[in-house]
Amino acid sequence: MVYGLGIESSCDETSIAIVKDGKELVSLKVYSQIETHSPYRGVVPEIASRAHLEKINSLLAVCLQESKLQFSDLKYIAVTGYPGLVGSLMIGAQLARCISLVYSIPIVVVNHLEAHLAVIALENELPAFPWLGVLLSGGNSSIYIYKGFGNLELLADTQDDSLGEAFDKVSAVLDLPYPGGPVIEKRASSYERPAGEKSPFPKLLKEDGPDKIRFSYSGLKTAVLYYLKTFIEAPPVEKISYYFQKTAFELVVRNIGKAVEKTKIRTIVAAGGVLANETLRSQLSLEAKTHSLQLYYPQKKIYCTDNGAMVACLGYYLWKENKIVGLDFKVSPKRNFEQII
C-alpha cells in the first residue's frame, strides 16, 4: 500500500489530499478563495499567496486526522510546481520541503495541467496511452497529445482568451457575478429556444480548415458586447447565455473532431473547471457515442476544479518512475517548465 500526499496551491484553491496507490482517494480538503477574489472579478496574486499561507497547515492537519495516518506512513509528497502564480506555488513548495526535510519523504514536482488530466485514474482503470488531453479552464483552452506520464505535446492552443476566461468576461458584461461559468450555465439552461431561431453570434473560426486546430474566444466576447448594445431596455440574459455557450462549445466539439482526425487518437480525456458544465459534458458524451470515441472526464465535480487529489494521483506515477527532486527544486509560471530545467 502506497500513501502519497498531494499539495495544490497554484492559483485560488488551497488543497491537500492523500491518495492510496494512485487510484483511491483517502482524504481531500479544498479551500476556495473565490469569495475573496470575487470583488476584483479575477485572482489577485498577492492576496492569493497570503490566503494559501493562512490555510494550508490547517488543511494538512485535517487531512491527516481524517485519514488516520502519520507523516511516516507517506511514501511521497507530490506538489504542484508549475504553471501557476509563483508566490502561490512557493507556499505549497515550502510546505513540501519542510515535511520532506523533517520526515525524509521524497518529493515529486507535478505539472498542474497534466494533473487535471491524470485525475481520471481516481475514477477509472487507466486507458492505454496516447490520449488526447482537452484542457478547458480559467487559464487554458488546449489540446495535448498525452503520450505517457510526464510526456505531453501541445497540439492546439488558444490565440487569446481561454474558455473559462470568456465565461468570466461575458458574465461581467452581463452584470452577473464572478466566476461566470456556473451562473451563465444556470441562466442558459432556463432559456427555451423558439423553433428555428438563429444564433445572434457567428460561428467561431469558420475559416479554419481541417488541419488548423486552435481556440479563440475574444471575438465571441466582442460579439456579445455589440449585441448587448442593440438593447435599450434590459437585455435577454438567458438568451445571450444560451447562444454564448452554444457558440463556444461548438468550437470545442469541432476541434476535438479535427484532433481525432489528425492524430487518429480515439481516447479523449477532458478536464478543467469548464468541464463542470453539464451542457458541455452531455455534448461531449453525445459526440463520443456518435463517433465511437473513448471519453473520460471527472465524474466528481470537485475533480474538475483545482484540487490536491489530482496532484497526489499524478505524483504516484511519477514517484514510481523515480522522478524525485531535491529540496532545491524550483517553481515556475511556465507550462513547459520541464523543457527549460
Q: Find all residues with CB under 8 Å of 232, minimum gap 6, and list them.
A: none
Least distance between ligand KG4 and beta carbon 303 (Å): 10
Is residue 27 annotated as involved in ligand binding?
no
Per CB under 6 A, the segment of 148-156, 201-209, 250-258, 268-276 that binds ligand KG4 is 268-276
Q: How far apart are the C-alpha atoms of 284 and 131, rounded to whole Å? A: 15
Is residue 138 annotated as involved in ligand binding?
yes
Is residue 116 annotated as involved in ligand binding?
yes
* 136/295 with CB nearer ligand KG4: 136
State which of residues 6, 83, 133, 272 lies at the interface with ligand KG4 (CB under 6 A).
272
Decide if residue 8 touches ligand KG4 (CB under 6 A): no
* 132/280 with CB nearer ligand KG4: 280
Is residue 181 annotated as involved in ligand binding?
yes
Q: How far apart are the C-alpha atoms of 262 and 138, rounded to whole Å? A: 26
Binding residues for ligand KG4, rule CB under 6 A, total: 20
**Whose CA is closest to 135, among 271, 338, 40?**
271
The secondary structure of residue 39, as a DSSP letter, is G
Least distance between ligand KG4 and beta carbon 93 (Å): 18
For the segment 138-197, give every residue that binds ligand KG4 (CB under 6 A).
138-139, 164-165, 167-168, 179-182, 185
Decide if residue 308 touches ligand KG4 (CB under 6 A): no
Decide if residue 305 touches ligand KG4 (CB under 6 A): yes
* 81/106 with CB nearer ligand KG4: 81
* 92/139 with CB nearer ligand KG4: 139
Is residue 185 annotated as involved in ligand binding?
yes
State which of residues 6, 22, 83, 273 lies at the interface with ligand KG4 (CB under 6 A).
273
Least distance between ligand KG4 and beta carbon 105 (Å): 28
**Whose CA is closest to 94, among 128, 51, 135, 53?**
53
β-strand partners of 27? 18
Is residue 52 annotated as involved in ligand binding?
no
Q: Which three cell numbers stand for residue 296?
A: 473520460
Could you tell me whether strands 107-111 and 131-136 are parallel, antiparallel, or unpaired per DSSP bridges? unpaired
* 74/166 with CB nearer ligand KG4: 166
CA distances from 283 to 161, 188, 262, 292 (A): 22, 15, 21, 14
Per the rule left: phi > 0, alpha: psi between -120 and 50, beta: everything else, 321 is alpha
Per CB under 6 A, the segment of 135-143, 214-222, 249-257, 323-331 that binds ligand KG4 is 135-143
Q: Which three cell numbers stand for residue 30?
A: 479544498
Q: Find all residues with CB under 8 Å of 262, minimum gap 6, and list them.
A: 155, 210, 211, 213
Least distance between ligand KG4 and beta carbon 103 (Å): 30
What DSSP element (H or E) covers 67?
helix 45-67
CB 89 within 8 A of CB 300: no
State which of residues 119, 276, 295, 318 lies at the interface with ligand KG4 (CB under 6 A).
276
E strand segments, the chain: 3-8, 13-20, 24-32, 74-82, 107-111, 131-136, 141-148, 151-156, 267-271, 294-296
* 237/274 with CB nearer ligand KG4: 274
Q: Which residues are annotated as a binding site?
A: 112, 116, 135-139, 168, 181, 185, 277, 306
Residues that bind ligand KG4 (CB under 6 A): 11, 137-139, 164-165, 167-168, 179-182, 185, 272-274, 276-277, 305-306
